[in-house]
Structure 1
Amino acid sequence: MTLFDPAAELGGSLAPKENSSKDAYSKDASSVESNSVIIRMTVAYDGTDFHGFAQQRDQRTVAGEICGALSKVLRGEITLACAGRTDAGVHAWGQVVSFGAPDGTDPAMLVERLNRMLGSEIAIRDASLAPLGFDARHSARARTYRYTVLNRSTPDPSMARSAWWVPEPIDIHALQLAATPFIGEHDFASFCRKGPEGSTTVRRVLESEWQDLGDGVLRYQVKATAFCWQMVRALVGTQVEAGRGKRKAGEMLSILRAKDRSAAGQLAPPHGLSLWRVDYENGELL
């Protein structure tokens, strides 16, 4: 099984032996108070067979698998912070997580052992020590998502898990026209599933563009300081309707102004979506 780069159980412990008492790593093992270092990891995964990233009782999730492996290696319960809580079926190439760990934890050895334990659906791309106070979610300055559409008359089984197959002709110029109005700060209520009471759907989009990669492969890239629930999939679904001539490419601003989910189009399926990159301060990309 391949991970989503379109361009492209082990025993032992990493915990220092001098701190290996039974209760050295409690439920608060991820807190700065209980540990002296913070580890930051970049994670890629094929989300097809997971119930999303976040841990859920009695469900197989990406965070659940990673935390389970980390708990065995570090001999304690671990809580992850993540840059983006991807939904069921959504993939990642550049997800970022952070957690507290005991002093002396070797990030390089952590990568090696976790990758041997996690199997082919999850890969730890790198790990490093982060400054105290770093949090994968709250320290992030922007996230970039990519969505892949396969626009051919016949499907490609090799892309079945990573691209939305749309056999009807799509006008790439209509897609490009539809993408531009989303740049800037807007209320994306028309493109978001309703969140908790009092939450805002105002978001600032920094990039929104389609590319024709050839051979029927179309890619949408969108970057924002943050996203609301199902926002990218709603944006893609609506733009693809414009590309297929089912709505006008020039009506995106009016859809935004409606602030009504029913004004926009269908949700694109999850399997074409990937969390591609996370930006942090000083131009750091993970």
Structure 2
Amino acid sequence: MRARATVAYDGAPFHGFAANTGVPTVAGLLVDVLSRVLRTEVTLTCAGRTDRGVHAVGQVVGFDLSERSDAELETLRDIVNRRIGPSVVLTSIHRAAEDFDARFSATSRTYRYRILDCLEPDPLLVTRVWHVVEPLDVAAMEAASADLVGLHDFTSFCLQQAPRPDGSMPTMMRRVTAASWRRLPDGPSGADLLEFEVSASAFCQRMVRTIVGTLVDIGRGEMAVDVIPAVLAAEDRRTAADSAPAQGLVFWSVAYD
């Protein structure tokens, strides 16, 4: 049978999600623990491969295992959580269709990015937010975000990809369905946090962080509020701002039909 599990993790201790020999990764830890518990080698698919330092509350993975009841799946979740350590948690596990693929079956993904925009940093949030000391024009950032919505080539916001074996380049066309900012009152520091939420059919590497970095430069007044269409049209990574740091980003949720 095929199982679908939702995973939450603190990205700070890991070199990203994808397995990588010689360094700790979320997938490497999951595969190791699941394989030992199930006493067979487990292969995972995932909804998105987050970078080093990026967190998740709604990552989704899929894997095959021998037939189990719903109650036995719950027991499996509990056993894995006892062994995997506090930085990674399986929040749910369910039976999935036999053709389920955590990546290719997904119809939408949502990320959230949090900023602490005040003079004083918060030591308790250093691995959870981007501390920005400059005043930000949130209205300008919100207005610019609207230009991201729709089907666009996001080459300017993504890491350059290697050619495919046939020599062709992967497409950077992505459909963004929502992008907006909001204030989160009563943050742990006593100051409001600023949160960006973006949903799309899929994301390319560094896309969300580069979008946030560009929108923050707009909020600082370093880029024009109407610059997004020109950056998209340029299809040149040099036209966008530096990527925002990883620690403020959370892979929030995945949608499936």
Q: Same fold (TM over 0.5)?
A: yes
Residue aligning to 1:208: 179
Report how far residue 92 of structure 1 moved: 0.3
1:171 shift after superposition: 1.1
Q: Secondary structure at the match of 2:104?
A: coil
Q: How big is the shift at 1:77?
A: 0.8
Structure 1 residue 82, shift from structure 2 partner: 0.2
Q: Which residue of 2 aligns with 1:83?
A: 47
- With CA pairs under 8 Å and 6+ residues apart, which has the higher RCO, 1 or 2? 2
CA contact (8 A) 1:87 1:270 kept: yes
Q: Distance in 2 between matches of 1:216 and 1:252?
A: 26
Cα deviation 1:168-188 (Å, max 9, x = unaligned): 111111110111100000011
Matched residue, 1:97: 61
Indicate the residue corresponding to 1:53 in structure 2: 17
**1:98-139 deviation per Cα after TM superposition (whole angstroms, max 9, x unaligned):** 000011362101110011001110011000111111111111
Instruction: Give the alignment of 1:176-255 within 5 angstroms.
Output: 176-197=142-163, 198-214=169-185, 215-255=191-231
Cα distance in 1, alignment partners of residues 239 and 139 from structure 2: 22
What is the 5 A alignment of 1:1-286?
37-104=1-68, 106-197=72-163, 198-214=169-185, 215-281=191-257
Deviations 1:49-70 (A, max 9, x none): 1010010111100001111110
Give the fraction of aligned pairs with identical amino acids, expressed as a percent: 44
Q: Is the contact between residue 46 and residue 122 of structure 1 (CA under 8 Å) also seen in structure 2? A: yes
Contact 1:172/1:212, CA 8 A, preserved across alignment = no
Higher Cα Rg, which structure: 1
Q: For residues 4-57 of structure 1, what are the alpha-carbon distances to aligned partners after superposition, in whole Å with 9 as ceiling and x for unaligned?
A: xxxxxxxxxxxxxxxxxxxxxxxxxxxxxxxxx001100000000101001011
Query: When the two structures are aligned, how many residues end up with a matched partner?
Result: 245
Instruction: Provide closer, same or farther for how the CA distance between residues 216 and 170 of structure 1 changes in structure 2, counting only shifts above 3 A.
Output: farther
Aligned 8 A contact 1:212 1:218 in 2 = yes
Residues 38 and 100 of structure 1 are in contact (CA less than 8 Å); yes or no, is this contact kept in structure 2?
A: yes
3-state SS of the aligned residue for 1:250? Answer: coil
| Structure 2 unaligned regions, length at least 5 | 164-168, 186-190
Provide the C-alpha distance between the structure 1 equivalents of 2:130 and 2:68, rounded to a whole number of angstroms.
Answer: 45
**Is 1:43–1:97's contact at 8 Å kept on the other side of the alignment?**
yes
Tell me which stretches of 4 or more aligned residues in structure 1 moved more than 4 Å: none
C-alpha distance in 2 between matches for 1:261 and 1:104: 48
**Unaligned 5+ runs, structure 1:** 1-36, 282-286
Question: Equivalents in 2 of 1:51, 1:64: separation in Å?
Answer: 10
Partner of 2:188: none
Indicate the SS of the match to 1:59: coil
When the two chains are superposed, the root-mean-square deviation of aligned CA atoms in Å is: 0.9
Could you say what secondary structure the match of 2:143 adopts? Answer: helix
| TM-score, reference length from structure 1 | 0.84
CA distance in 1, matches of 2:144, 2:121: 25
Give the aligned partner of residue 33 of structure 1: none
2:106 is paired with a residue whose SS is coil
Q: Deviations over 1:138-172 (max 9, x none)?
A: 11001000000110100011211110000111111
